[in-house]
Every structure is written in C-alpha cells, then in structure tokens.
Amino acid sequence: MKIQPRLATLAMPNLGAIPVSNDRMDVLRAQILQRIGDGVRLILAGDYKAVWVEDSKAVRPVIKPPEWLGWLGCVFYVDAIERHSRDATERQLEELVSATPKAAAQKLDFYEKCGWKPIPGSTPDWQDSMPAPAPALASVPTPATIQPVSFPDNLFQQVGGLPLEKNGLPPMEDLEVLCNDESVELPPAVILGCLHRRDKMSLGGSSKASKSWALKNLCIAVATGGEWMGMKCLQGKVLYINFEIDRSWIRKRFKDLKHAWKLSQFENITIWNLRGFAADMTLLLPKLLVGIKGAGFALIVIDPIYKTLGDRDENSNADVAALLNEVDKIAGVSGAAVVFGAHFTKALSGGKRQIDRVAGAGAWARDPDVIGTMTEHEDESNPCLAVEFTCRNVVQPKPFVVEWKWPLYVLRPDLDPADLKQAQVGGRKQTYKGNDLLKLLQRPLLTMEWFAIAEEELGCSKSSFLRAKALLKKAGKIENDGNDKWQPTDPKY
C-alpha cells in the first residue's frame, strides 16, 4: 500500500465517501475512520503548532509527537476496517472508536493477524447481540476547534483546609502549631474501621470475583448506611462513574440489586454513564472535577480504572503513579473516598502476599490508602472468596470469607480465609490448608520446630509453610506466647 495517496484520501473532508447507514456497526466503522482522518489531517497540515495548545498550567500537546506514529500505523490498517471488519463484534469496534492512536494501531494489527472473532472459550459479549440505536456521527475536529485543557481558577482553592499559595502549593507549617490545632479533624469514615473520606481504595480480584458487582453493592451500602460484606458503612451521597457497561445493562443490574436489597427506591446515588467517552484521565480530569466539586459526595466509584489509562502502561510505575495522582485530585476536590477495581494476574494468586496479587506495576499496591482483595477460596463447593484489607491509616480488619450468591455476597464465618486456592505444584494440587497447619500446634512451638513437623507430616515446602503461617497470623488464628513460640489464639491443649 502506498501511504501518501492513502493519506491524501483520508485527509479529504468526506474521508473517501465512506458508506454510512443507520446500522450501528456501520456508524462505528465510520467513526473509526473519521478519527484516523482527523489525526492524519493534523499531520499533513505541516503546522505542528496546530497540535499544541497552551493552558493555564503548562504547554501540552493535543496529539503527542509519539502518537503521530500511531496515527500512521492506523493508516496501514484502514483497508482491514473497510474490508474485514464485518466479522468484528460491536465491543471490538467500540474499543477502536475510543482507543488512542497507538492502542488502535496495536489492536488493528492483532485483528488483522488473528481475526476479529473472540477467542474460543472466552466469555461471550452478550451486548453484541442486543439492538441499539445508531448514534449520530461525531463531527470531525480540526486544529481550529480543539479547545485547550484547563481548570477553572477556583477549582483548587485549598487542600486539606489550607488555602493555596501563589505557587499553587499548600504553605509549610510549624509541626507544634499543627499538633495543637484542635480544628484539624480526621475525615469521616465511609466504611467503619477501613475506609475514610479522601482515601483511595483499590479492590482487586480475579476475573471470576465479580468485582463490579462488589462495587455496586458498596454504593448501595454507603447510600443506605447499611453493611457491605459484614462491615458497617456510614450513610452518604455516592457517585458511580460507569466507563464500561451499556446504559441499558447498568439499569438492569441496579434494578436487580434494588430488588435484592428490598429497597422501595434509590436515594443518595448518582450514576454517570460514560461508556464510549473513556479517555486518558489527564484529559477527563477537568470535566470530572467541575462535575463533582461541591456535590457533597462521600464515595466516588470509578469502574473500571483501566479505561482511563490512555497511552499509559499499567506495568509502568511512573505511568500508574501519574494516573493515581490524578485520582488524588478527585479525592481532594470532592472530599470523597475514591474506590476503583483492579485485576489479578491470570494465574492463581493464593500463594502470593495479599498486596502482590494485583497485576501490573507495584504502584497499584503501594499508592492506595486501602488495598482490598477478593481471592478464590479453597472450598470448591460454592464460589467463595477470601476478602482481605491492608490499610495505611487504621488497623486492618481481620480477613473473612464471602460466598457469591447473585447479586449479593453472603458471609461464610464457617470458612477459614487462610485456606486459599493454590496453584498446582509438580502436576498435583497442594493438599495442606491453614487449618491443617494449625492442627499441628499441639503445644507452643518455635517456627522451625513447627515447620519440621509440617514438612514431615504434610510434605509442604518452607516457602509454602511461611506463607500459610503468615496468613494464619493475619487472620488472628495464632499468636506468640512471648518466648518466640507460636500457639493458637484459643489453645485447647
């Protein structure tokens, strides 16, 4: 394919006279080509100043220089859209519409090589079979109509109760004065003993953990002042930002929850459906902050957070830290706790430390004030999950087990949260559990004495023993007797 003639075709206002019908799939294909044509026109204009704008904070690009290569990469796959995308699902086309140039080029390259059909055995996208009205074609932006990204002057007037100085930062403080200032109060709780306003919390889990349902249940618990997985929530206003689920399906989900919670009507919950408008958080932030400032929200849920990554790499600590700094601004301006979902690696995570189970960069675990995880439990008779929280500011709650009974989670106090589903080792599953190790403590034992018995009777390795011991300790099942020996917290010798 000769790229220059193709660029010229894409740069024309009608984008090569793309056939458009009222069919939603045709509209999505046309929108993809429109976005590519927009980027190419900016490049062909030759005036690179046109792709830069100046706002009150700094000079920043509308289309970053590294993305030009992404736009050109998209050009090579335009024929794939026109000729082969009849096999694409609606979800695949919608992802291309909202993707950055770099991501779109990578997705198109994958689809061109591997085909558009979902991978056999993957979870079907039921939304692809549902009829939906075709949206109007988006107007093609030009450099002259692109608006600068800027924040209102009064958006960041103060942080933590202190007015900002001219440099945009809070002033330095005398520590003794701060300690004696009785007007400085701790932020109100959202989940008692776990989460407070202005905190950030991630909720991690595997693909089977139904994290999105857990977040929706949390919204209702806070809005009603009820319990979430057995933990008391203080009543407050909630904002649920939905980047992923179609508006009709999100309606159905909350109607099912309304029935399950036995509510006559929803109160204190606002939903912001932004599916199809997901973008780099840096670009979304000004609009989000204007929308939430002064609304009095106690909790803001972002579902899912990966939709706001943009060109960021979830495995890069610098990129993830930059994204979570933007989330900090949401918490600071709104005064609300901000909660978002995170995903585990594909392999079973039961053998890892709790804060190491989330996939991607380490900043996902280090940055949030509260790290929650929902890990598959060893009990395979029902879909059960061990729930654990690591908290920066308070003593973390004891782990517990819940059973997923659609659309709610039910506490299972009869199950031990230390008994996590383990990966297979040497072709066979590990057979020991936390309770098995606990049964070996027939008297107070030093760690190495305990391990020697476990190795002989259970055949577990030292690393596996230490992981299980740490889980037992965290669950409050064992304690040190003061002589470096371990015993059950409720010994029955």
311 lies in the same domain as 400: yes
**pLDDT value at residue 170:** 79
User: How would you class 214 by CB atoms within 10 Å of its CB: exposed for 0-12, middle for 13-18, buried for 19 or more?
Assistant: buried
**pLDDT value at residue 8:** 43
Strand-pair partners of 387? 374, 400
114 lies in the same domain as 254: no
**pLDDT value at residue 310:** 83
Spatial distance between the Cα atoms of 301 and 372, rounded to a whole number of angstroms: 14
**pLDDT value at residue 69:** 58
Mean pLDDT of the 74-81 span: 67
484 lies in the same domain as 342: no
Which span out of 105-119, 147-161, 259-273, 359-373 was modeled with the highest average pLDDT?
Answer: 259-273
Sequential DSSP letters for 43-55: HHT--GGGGEEE-
235 lies in the same domain as 199: yes
327 lies in the same domain as 219: yes
Q: Is the residue at 167 inside a domain?
A: no
407 lies in the same domain as 445: no
Q: Is the residue at 102 inside a domain?
A: yes
* Whether pLDDT at 317 is above 70: yes
**pLDDT value at residue 135:** 42
Last residue of a domain, one of 107, 129, 151: 129
Task: Give buried/exposed letters for 421-448 (b at 16+ CB in 10 A, else e).
Answer: bbeeeeeeebebbbeebbebbeebbeee
210 lies in the same domain as 268: yes
- Give the tens place of pLDDT for each residue, 31-53: 777 777 666 666 555 444 444 44
Of 480 and 19, the structure prediction assigns the larger pLDDT to 480
Q: Is the residue at 72 inside a domain?
A: yes
**pLDDT value at residue 407:** 92
388 lies in the same domain as 244: yes
Last residue of a domain, one of 358, 384, 411: 411
Quote the tokens at residue 423: 């990966």
SS3 91: helix
Quote the tokens at residue 195: 């989460």
Share of the chain above pLDDT 70, in %: 67
Kindly report the CATH number assigned to the domain that includes residue 473: 1.10.10
**pLDDT value at residue 356:** 66
405 lies in the same domain as 439: no
Q: Is the residue at 247 inside a domain?
A: yes
233 lies in the same domain as 320: yes
Q: What's the predicted TM-score (pTM) here?
A: 0.58
**pLDDT value at residue 338:** 97
* Whether pLDDT at 222 is above 80: yes
322 lies in the same domain as 271: yes
Q: Is the residue at 181 inside a domain?
A: no
Kindly report the CATH number assigned to the domain that includes residue 314: 3.40.50.300
Spatial distance between the Cα atoms of 72 and 158, rounded to a whole number of angstroms: 43
**pLDDT value at residue 418:** 86
Q: Is the residue at 158 inside a domain?
A: no
* Whether pLDDT at 417 is above 80: yes
Handedness of CA 139, 141, 146, 150 (dihedral sign): positive
Share of the chain above pLDDT 90, in %: 26
Mean pLDDT of the 289-307 span: 90
Range of the domain at 326: 189-411
- Give the tens place of pLDDT for each residue, 418-477: 888 765 444 444 445 667 788 888 788 888 888 878 877 777 777 778 888 888 888 888
Q: Is the residue at 213 inside a domain?
A: yes
Total of domains in the chain? 3
Evaluate whether 464 touches 451 at the Cβ level (below 8 Å): no
**pLDDT value at residue 55:** 40
* Whether pLDDT at 400 is above 90: yes
Q: Show the CA angle centred on residue 362, arms to residues 360 and 368, nearest 5°.
A: 105
73 confidence band (pLDDT: 50, 70, 90): low
* Whether pLDDT at 142 is above 60: no
- Give the tens place of pLDDT for each residue, 318-336: 889 989 999 999 998 899 9
CA 467 to chain centre: 27
**pLDDT value at residue 175:** 94
Of 141 and 298, the structure prediction assigns the larger pLDDT to 298
Q: What is the mean pLDDT of the chain?
A: 75
**Worst-scoring range by mean pLDDT, 197-201, 294-298, 349-353?**
349-353
**pLDDT value at residue 45:** 55
* Whether pLDDT at 130 is above 70: no
143 confidence band (pLDDT: 50, 70, 90): very low
**Worst-scoring range by mean pLDDT, 101-110, 169-178, 340-349?**
340-349
Quote the tokens at residue 83: 């000729």
* Whether pLDDT at 87 is above 90: no
Q: Is the residue at 374 inside a domain?
A: yes
**Worst-scoring range by mean pLDDT, 21-25, 223-227, 354-358, 409-413?**
21-25
Mean pLDDT of the 244-253 span: 92
108 lies in the same domain as 58: yes
**pLDDT value at residue 428:** 43
Last residue of a domain, one of 386, 411, 436: 411
4 confidence band (pLDDT: 50, 70, 90): very low
Which residues lie below 8 Å from residue 467, measured CB to CB, with a gap of 6+? 351, 353
